[in-house]
Amino acid sequence: MRIRAPVLAVLLGCACALPATAQDRVRTDTALASMVAAERAFAQNSVRHGTQAAFLAHMAANGILYRPRAVMAHPYLRARPMAADLALIWEPVFADMSAAGDLGYTTGPWIGTSRAHQDVDPTFGEYLTIWRRQGDGTWKAELDAAIAHSADPIGPTPLKVPAPAGWSRPASQSKTALASLLAADSALAAAASKEGAASAFRKRAARHMRLLRNGRFPLMADSATSFLRATPGYTWKPAAGAVSRSGDIGYTYGPYVLLTALGSREATESGDYVRIWRRNRAGEWQIAFDMTSPVP
């Protein structure tokens, strides 16, 4: 499959109709709407000004890229600039935002091809961008990661957003939100080591949980559980994380290892993971997103 410039323009200009529930939240949640607009501006700048320039402009000063391990974005890009003829576009199909309107994320399909060589086969995949609102009100990407897969025959779908969690953090928890998030990630790791990843994730999964894995389309609901059941030896250790001011959305990341079986010491894959968490109405941390970035 080859993608020509006119098709790239159509994909870039995709203004997919939002379903009613997504329209309602995007219309009322101005922070969510402005973050999605920032994501689309990021993609447009990649085509208009070049992918390297777009990433340098939209990544936060302390932003993290997965290449495939987690690295500091700006030093890495300056030392290893992206190819000048790289044409990289993407479109958000799912987004969520914290109650404080300061931290959110978008995910969706990406397509990469060459500006100079029209006959080069494109590459495809899914991306994740975690966004943080800056002091001046603008959005910067705090973390950017992606996986690759074959061409998606369906293409971009309308933007989806979950309903607000409805959890309100007690003031007494304002300084402990990150600690509780890291504890939740460590508890998940302990449970996965004891009972298997499928069981551990199922008990803590948000209804809209997504898994991104190299070579596969996004995994959700039953497909995610089935995949995790086939890879029980999923182990990791959280290295760092961050939360929103409202303490309802946060993320963790660090090294992971896939083992041949539960309790085994023989590794089949290793790399860095990133996991997004969201509080439910009761204030419990639930898994909203999980991505692994393996080292070749």
What pLDDT sits at residue 7?
39
| SS3 labels along the chain | CCCCHHHHHHHHCCCCCCCHHHHHHHHHCHHHHHHHHHHHHHHHHHHHHCHHHHHHHHEEEEEEEECCCEEEHHHHHHHCCCCCCEEEEECCCEEEECCCCCEEEEEEEEEEEECCCCCCCCEEEEEEEEEEECCCCCEEEEEEEEEEECCCCCCCCCCECCCCCCCCCCHHHCCCHHHHHHHHHHHHHHHHHHHCHHHHHHHHEEEEEEEECCCCCCEEHHHHHHHHHHCCEEEECCCEEEECCCCCEEEEEEEEEEECCCCCCCEEEEEEEEEEEEECCCCCEEEEEEEEEECC
pLDDT tens, position by position, 64-90: 999 999 999 999 999 999 999 898 999
In this structure, which topology does domain 5-149 adopt according to CATH?
Nuclear Transport Factor 2; Chain: A, (3.10.450)
Domain 171-294 in the same topology as domain 5-149:
yes
192-207 average pLDDT score: 96
More confidently predicted of 25 and 90: 90
Q: Residues 108-152: pLDDT tens digits?
A: 999 998 887 777 889 999 999 999 999 999 999 999 999 999 987
Whether the per-residue pLDDT at 22 is higher than 90: the answer is no
Query: pLDDT for 150-181, tens place per residue?
Result: 987 766 678 999 988 888 776 556 578 999 99
- The domain locations on the chain are 5-149, 171-294
CATH architecture of 171-294: Roll (3.10)
